[in-house]
Every structure is written in structure tokens, then in C-alpha cells.
Amino acid sequence: MSRAASPISTLRIGKFLAHAGVASRRHAEQLVREGRVTVNGERLSDLARRVDPARDRVQVDGRPVRPERPRYLAFHKPEAVLSTRADPRGRPTVFDLVRAEPERLYPVGRLDYRSTGLLLLTNDGELAQRLTHPRFGCEKVYRVKVEGDPSEAALERLRRGVVLDRKRTRPCKIRRLGTGRHTWLEIALREGRNQQIRRMFLYARHPVLKLQRIRIGPLELGKLAPGALRELTRREVLALQQAAGAEAPPSGSNPRKPGLA
């Protein structure tokens, strides 16, 4: 008679699929609702079902799911590079620069074409969702150069929040770093709307000239050179998980061909 799996070693199905790199946790749960997931040959409908990565046979659309080794990499995105997998216009992307890395890595919190700085590349879907979703309030910090010299009153309006797309931005922190013909600022956000900082300062009539992300939660860009990539340390990963309130994914498994076999 086989011994039952310990609850400590099991994961809810959505979390398992997210950790396996199949999809984000939300999309993984949608796959279950659509009847596309089986566990040990049984079609699954219960989102609360727990699976043991070491013992249970999980399939999506008939293809086996193999737990993957979680990867966490810091990348310094250069200017004139997209944060997407591919571009129909043929512009260079982050993944053109990191081709040696597994295909299932994806960026956490995109930077626009002109912006530079820290990107986290990972296959940990749950951590990625928590770091980007406004509900979890993970702080991202940017160094920004804007045209002209914004008044303190203008900066205070931006700190309190302005209306973009009929919705007010969340309060943010703005610190003046230096003023001359143009102004350098440090900005800390807990949300990440599309080109939010550029649009905020366009609203204030001080267009952004340069924008660099220097921190995601406790993870700092530091001295990482443009275009360079490095693995996060165990301490850095644990600090990110703690900041996002996420559980550590199961360790082990196949480091080369993860996710759907």
C-alpha cells in the first residue's frame, strides 16, 4: 500500500501549472475550467485539487507537464529593445539578446522601447503575477530625466495621483535628484500602467527624456551593464518572494526542457 503524499509536498493545481511554466496561475485555472487538464488520467474540474509533483501524472491537452527548475535572472535592458517575445516590425527584443536561455522565461513588468534598466526574467508564473499586479503593491523605482524644471506644486500633484484613462493613478513617491536645464528625479510606483511615468509627466508638461528602472521590490539593478544577464542569488530570490508574499516553488526537476513535454 502506497503512502499518501504529505500536504507539505503538494500544490494546488493552478499553482503547480504556474510553477511548471505552462501559464500564469489565472490562465492555468482557466485551463482547468475548460476541462483541458487531467491528473492521473482523470479530467480535472476542481481548482482546489492538490497534486504531488513527484508522484502525480499531470497533462494539459494530452501533453505531459513536467515540473521545471525555477529560473530567476536579472537583465539590464538597453535602449531600443522591446520587452516582448517577438515584434512583427522586426525590432530587436530582449529575447534576441538572451537566446541561450530557456524559451519559457518571460519578463516581469515590461519596459517600453526607449526605456532602460532592470528586468526580471523568470518562469515562476505566480511570483511574476504578484510582482506586477497592483493588488500586491510591489514597489518599482526609476531614475527619470524630464524636460525643464517641474515646480514642487506640479510634483505634489503627481505624487497625489492624476487621472489617466479616466482612472486616478495611485499615490507615488517623487524625489528631486538634481536640477539644471533639465531635471533628474527618482520615482517609486506601486502600479505599472502602460508608459505610466511618461504619461504622468506629459500631463505635467515636462516630457520624459530618459527613464531607467533601478529597482523591483528589493532587487536592485546595481552595476549590471546594459545587455548583461545574471542569475539571482538564493537570498535575492527569497527576498523577492517575501516582498510579494509568494511561496517558494518546488525545487528539483528538469532544468533543460520544462513545462509541457
Q: What predicted TM-score, i.e. pTM, was given to this entire model?
A: 0.76
Q: Is 149 annotated in the active site?
A: no
Let me know if residue 31 belongs to a domain: yes
Let me know if residue 176 belongs to a domain: yes
Same domain for 235 and 144? yes
Residue-number span of the structural domain to which 48 is assigned: 8-67
- The Cα–Cα gap between 108 and 85 comes to 12
CA distances from 187 to 27, 80, 139 (A): 32, 22, 10
Sign of CA dihedral 249, 254, 258, 261: negative
Query: What CATH number did the domain enclosing 225 receive?
Result: 3.30.2350.10
Specify which residues 61 forms β-bridges with: none
Same domain for 232 and 114? yes
Nine-digit cell string for 182: 533639465
Let me know if residue 256 belongs to a domain: no
pLDDT tens for each residue of 23-49: 777 888 899 999 999 999 999 989 999
Count of domains in the chain?
Answer: 2
Let me know if residue 3 belongs to a domain: no
pLDDT tens for each residue of 51-66: 988 889 999 999 998 8
Query: What CATH number did the domain enclosing 41 receive?
Result: 3.10.290.10
Let me know if residue 254 belongs to a domain: no
- The Cα–Cα gap between 152 and 60 comes to 55
pLDDT tens for each residue of 178-193: 888 899 999 999 998 9
105-124: string of b/e by CB count within 10 Å (b at 16+)? bbbbbbbebebbbbbbbbbb
Active-site residue (options: 61, 87, 112, 149): 112
